[in-house]
Amino acid sequence: MLFRRFLEEQCGLSKEKRIRGMRFKEHVEVFRYWRELIVQDVLECPFELTHVDAHTDMGFGERDWDFIVHELLHKEPTSRLTPKQDPPHLNSGSFLAYAIAVRWISKLTFVHHTDFPDNNDYNGICFKDFDPKSGFVQLKNKQRQQITGYDYMKHEPTILEPEIPYVEISVDKFQSNDTLEVATICQSPGFTPESADFLLDVFGEYVDESWLA
């Protein structure tokens, strides 16, 4: 099975030595899981993230963009998140942008499908110099002005967030060189067929879900 080979040969997972992990229905639940791991001092922050997906999940809807750029990034990093309450407008399509905004991520590797279109699913606001090919994620905050939509990109930011190394690679070329500590998978029923649900059971053979169960 290709999926099992990917888990074992490319990610280094083993059924004999399970790592901490969890299966979820929606991506936004991963954000909450990370938060609980951090609160419980189980996951050291910031951490390196390998994101295997058909989407970057750094998308900005109008409400996400307005809140992150004009409000969240203007707070001190230690004040950007509460232990239990979700940030306003957090959702499965932007949960990774929020994780970056609260400075959880030290390095991001995006592993995509072999047919992932060039410049697809990107938002330049997320990247250094507004360029997805720059090799760095870098959020930018801005004082609230009478700016709507992506007119923001025409204006200099007030403050630049730290640069986060960013690697983009096709799934057939990906090979983890590090020992993974935590692994999660999401069903995403709005984007995947029911016939793929059995893959969650396969994934469950490689992770220990007893913590936070």
pLDDT tens digits, 24-81: 999 999 999 999 999 989 899 999 999 999 888 887 666 777 888 888 999 999 999 9
Whose structure tokens read 């090979």?
A: 175
Q: Answer whether residue 87 is part of any domain.
A: yes
Q: 126: pLDDT confidence band, cut at 50, 70 and 90?
A: confident
Q: Answer whether residue 52 is part of any domain.
A: yes
Q: Answer whether residue 181 is part of any domain.
A: yes
Provide the domain limits for residue 27.
2-208
Are 65 and 91 in contact by the 8 Å Cβ rule? The answer is: no
Q: Answer whether residue 191 is part of any domain.
A: yes
**Distance (Å, whole) CA 142 – CA 43:** 31
User: b/e map of 109-136 (b: 16 or more CB within 10 Å)?
Assistant: bbbbeeebeeeebbbbbbbbebebeeeb
Q: Answer whether residue 213 is part of any domain.
A: no
- Give the mean pLDDT of the chain: 87
Tell whether the model's pLDDT for residue 147 goes beyond 90: no
Tell whether the model's pLDDT for residue 148 goes beyond 60: no
Number of domains, the chain: 1
Tell whether the model's pLDDT for residue 15 goes beyond 90: yes
Q: What is the mean pLDDT of residues 129-152?
A: 75
What percent of the chain clears pLDDT 90, i.e. is strictly above it? 56
Q: Answer whether residue 9 is part of any domain.
A: yes
Q: What is the mean pLDDT of residues 149-160?
A: 61
- The pLDDT assigned to 11 comes to 96
Q: Which residues, 6 or more positions from 53, have their beta carbon under 8 angstroms from its beta carbon?
A: 110, 111, 112
pTM, full prediction:
0.89
Q: Answer whether residue 91 is part of any domain.
A: yes
Q: What is the mean pLDDT of residues 142-148?
A: 59
Top pLDDT among 163 and 42 is at: 163
